[in-house]
Amino acid sequence: MTLRSGPHDQQPWLLASFAMSALVMTAFAAVGGAMSGTGQGQSSVPLMTAGWNPSNRAGRASIETKPYVAATAAYPAGAMAAFAALDDAAAQAAVMREDPPPATPTLGAFVPQVDPKVTPADPSDAESAEPDTQTVAIERGDTLSGLLSEAGVQSSDVQAVLAALKPLYDIASIKAGQNFTLTFGRLPNAQEAASGPSGPVLLSVALKPSIERDIIVERSDGGGYKASEIVKTLTERTDRAYGVINGSLYQAALAAGVPEGAIAELIRIYSYDVDFQRDIQAGDRFDVLFTRYYDDQGTPVKSGTVLHATLTLQGERKPLYRFTHPDEQTVDYYNAHGMNGKRMLMKTPIDGARLSSGFGMRRHPILGFNKMHKGTDFAAPTGTPIMASGNGVVEVAGWAGGYGRYVRVKHDGQYKTAYAHMSRFARGLKAGTRVRQGQVIGYVGTSGRSTGPHLHYEVLANNRHVDSQSVKLPTGTLLAGASMAAFKAEKARLDDVLKATPLVNAVAQRQTNTAQP
């Protein structure tokens, strides 16, 4: 097939809808980075420095530094300050991805508020005995020993810390984004004289390898370091949230108290069936049953899975149930009739949370889609991941005139899909590469004939363009026999759980007097 004509130019409403989209993306990126522990979110972590910094790591991701002020007798001074700093970081992350903020005190509450007018300890002030804590984030390629050395820790102490940590934490498993809280302080005079250097020494290193575990390595009174850990017990609970969509599903679900992880899963499981830029209209509804993990103080700390959800779009109910296939042991989402919700091709082959709000476009029929338009446009910020909408083999990955950076995937004898205006391709992607449904093949851009970042998406049936949003595609498989019987039992169970689970946003619902589902 030849590429005689490029896609149409972008329409004004695409640009108008961008401010909202960028906001959503920023929020999502910040939370995503905090949750996944990859380096992706680091740039969005505010750079705050206060107090002195012995390593002078200017420009490094020193996300929090606070002078230590007071502690209870229950914990050594270094441990208290270090845990407080870590808990603050965790609480910040929790506030971003969850709600409500912790209602019960955490370790962080033991640290008194620092009066901003009080100047932090000056390292040159020999009279100062206040420990200093700083939280540093590992960046790609960093090692813990390198990080400690850079922070000014003596090499003998670095080795002692690593040796103490070894039984509790595999330092080879360190990932970009992992935070370490270092506490420095001066030794009592006698010890200081014995150890030689008069500068501050490393009192403790604290880390939180997972939501459930706190590890601290502390300096012993007689020198040397010892490590200990606190393991928290998390309880999995089932929650339910309901809401009316007046912008995007993402915004409405967030407002209703659905955790970020569950929203991402919700969008993903519906992306086979729903065009998140066009199918969502004001007044559409969602009802979602999901699990999440709470700490022993009743604070939600970790997202779980979506068990059951119903999107009601323009009056049409679209329920999905999570079900583990008894023979294949695969987890999937099925509609009420036991049909796998997956399709051969996705309707939204892009991160649905980053799309600009959909329903507003319907209000502007005059600015509606160009009749000659051969594809579907999804307005999203540059860099938004684009997915292969189905399994297949890459036919073209290169520059194609007005299409800019262009990828075409051949799915079977009949269907192909094409993706245009990319800012870049996924690493290693070229003609002949086999791709799976949902695999990232490139990133949104505005290359070629385009006036703003968007994905131009085409579906070809027997090399003729068809409407990607209305084409009747082969659906997933229908359960049968014993699998169907098992599904029906699970569906009945989930329906009962749904009825028995109070809404997490029930108070908000009453206040706004919104109809219950």
What residue ranges bind Zn ion (CB under 5 A)?
A: 7, 375, 377, 456
Omega prior to 167 cis, within 30 of 0 = no
Closer Cβ to Zn ion, 7 or 448, answer by number: 7
- Are 402 and 449 in contact, with CB atoms under 8 Å apart? yes
Angstrom distance (rounded) from CA 117 to CA 374: 62
DSSP 5: S
The H or E element containing residue 29 is helix 18-36
- Are 229 and 214 in contact, with CB atoms under 8 Å apart? yes
Whose tokens are 């039984």? That residue is 167
Closer Cβ to Zn ion, 295 or 458, answer by number: 458
Least Å distance, CB 376 to Zn ion, is 7
Angstrom distance (rounded) from CA 423 to CA 364: 28
Provide the β-strand partners of residue 443. 385, 424
Angstrom distance (rounded) from CA 27 to CA 95: 12
Closer Cβ to Zn ion, 308 or 456, answer by number: 456
Least Å distance, CB 420 to Zn ion, is 7
Closer Cβ to Zn ion, 302 or 456, answer by number: 456
DSSP 427: T
Least Å distance, CB 471 to Zn ion, is 16
Least Å distance, CB 8 to Zn ion, is 6
Closer Cβ to Zn ion, 302 or 374, answer by number: 374
Least Å distance, CB 352 to Zn ion, is 18
Residues 6+ apart with CB under 8 A from 47: 61, 62, 63
Residues 6+ apart with CB under 8 A from 61: 42, 45, 47, 136, 137, 139
Segments of 110-195 assigned E as strands: 132-137, 179-185
- Are 10 and 350 in contact, with CB atoms under 8 Å apart? no
Least Å distance, CB 431 to Zn ion, is 23
Least Å distance, CB 171 to Zn ion, is 49
Least Å distance, CB 450 to Zn ion, is 8
Least Å distance, CB 248 to Zn ion, is 20
**Of all residues in this chain, which one has the CB nearest to Zn ion in the complex?**
456
Closer Cβ to Zn ion, 57 or 465, answer by number: 465
Torsion angle in degrees (nearest 10) through CA of 27, 32, 37, 40: -70
Closer Cβ to Zn ion, 200 or 404, answer by number: 404
Residue 136, phi then psi, degrees to nearest 5: -120, 145
- Are 419 and 442 in contact, with CB atoms under 8 Å apart? yes
Closer Cβ to Zn ion, 7 or 67, answer by number: 7
Least Å distance, CB 456 to Zn ion, is 3
Closer Cβ to Zn ion, 11 or 251, answer by number: 11
Angstrom distance (rounded) from CA 152 to CA 350: 45
Least Å distance, CB 377 to Zn ion, is 4
- Are 427 and 440 in contact, with CB atoms under 8 Å apart? no
CA 68 to chain CA centroid, nearest Å: 32
Closer Cβ to Zn ion, 5 or 43, answer by number: 5
* DSSP conformation letters of 349-384: -B-GGGSPPSHHHHT-GGG---TT--SEEEE--TT-
- Are 509 and 242 in contact, with CB atoms under 8 Å apart? yes
Closer Cβ to Zn ion, 295 or 377, answer by number: 377
Find the angle CA(146)-CA(76)-CA(125) to the nearest 5 degrees. 70
- Are 214 and 208 in contact, with CB atoms under 8 Å apart? yes
Least Å distance, CB 23 to Zn ion, is 24
Closer Cβ to Zn ion, 177 or 352, answer by number: 352
